Amino acid sequence: MERYSRQVLFSPIGEEGQVALASKHAVIAGAGALGTGSAEMLARAGVGKLTVIDRDYVEWSNLQRQQLYTELDARDRLPKAAAAEKRLREINSEIEVYGLIEDITALNAENLIGGADVLIDATDNFDTRFILNDVSQKLGIPWIYGGCVGSYGMSYSILPEKSPCLHCLLKQLPMEGYTCDTVGIISPAVGMTTAYQTAEALKILSGNTDQLRSKLVSFDLWHNQHTSINIDKLKDPACTSCGENRVYPYLNYENATKTAVLCGRDSVQIRPGSKRDIDFAKLAEAIAESGGEASANPYLLSVAIDGFRMVVFKDGRALIHGTKDVSAAKNLYYRYLG
């Protein structure tokens, strides 16, 4: 116990809680800013098994806030899951660490996440978050939502059968959303969000679920604001994800984002699971602030950015030209459309 002696001295965990941590499995969905922060804290805390899932690779812009990665990782464009696994094994050789280079979808989510004792959200889009939510409800796995952008962050812990689920809170996919690629982010906002998420994970994994925070917490570090909202009354008995007649709609292929490489063309089509109403003016402004160029007509917005050309239609469908790599196309789509 010498390695974890200071944690064991913390009476809510103690020796019994530390033994419990060593027997537990945490799955972290995403290995960006939130994922690397949570993974490192859980590895140092002695959680017995960590699985980190991510489809992306390390870029120079990640180094400002994604704490497991180095300049060498960015130069070599290492997959984030592989780089994270290597670094976490160096941090704690006593635990099991698995980095999975995967895109979480409605088709593979149950296999990737099944068997976990807690699921931590570190994703960058609500398509995936709603998949995580349905898997959590279907398999009975507690999960911890988190998000941050700019100087703002928020977190909420969801216990199947007890808490309102994410679908209860939002009902449908958000139509617009800021991203780190459009408005930026400061690393203290990341650190605060991961602190909230990881503290909740440690409570679950050490057997202290009675100490879980039942409220949705949000904050803005730059403007010195902090809010805690009781949302218990938002639990909906008719919710299709967690209600009395649940059907887990986001595990249904028809509600998933569809991608297709266009035959004979160096292009990928992305179609969201539900129709959106894209504000071309707002999106064009965000693209310009990120160094790209955009022009619109009443039907579509044409964007040139990051070496690609992206054509966005009003309903959210997009064509990404200049690649046949579905993962790269989805990364670009989520970066600028949230």
Cα Rg, the chain, nearest whole Å: 20
| 3-state SS assignment for residue 302 | strand
Q: Is 242 a catalytic residue?
A: no
Tokens read off for 33: 């800013």
First to last CA, the chain: 44
CA separation for the pair 79, 101 (Å, rounded): 7
Q: Which residues pair with 311 in a beta bridge?
A: 302, 319
- Give the span between the Cα atoms of 320 and 332, in whole angstroms: 8
DSSP 8-state secondary structure symbol assigned to residue 146 = E
- Tell me how far apart the alpha carbons of residues 210 and 141 are, in angstroms, rounded to a whole number: 16
Strands (E), the chain: 25-29, 49-54, 96-101, 118-121, 143-149, 152-158, 215-220, 225-230, 258-261, 267-271, 293-296, 300-305, 308-313, 318-321
Contacts of 37 (CB under 8 A, 6+ apart): 67, 190, 191, 194, 198
Torsion angle, CA of 317/318/319/322, rounded to 10 degrees? -160
Find out whether 73 and 86 touch, Cβ atoms under 8 Å.
no
CA atoms within 13 A on the CB side of 125: 22
Contact 190, 65 (CB under 8 A): yes
Catalytic residue among 168, 180, 239, 242: 180
Nearest-CA neighbor of 209 among 112, 114, 117?
117
CA distance 91 to 224: 34
Residue positions annotated with a catalytic role:
180
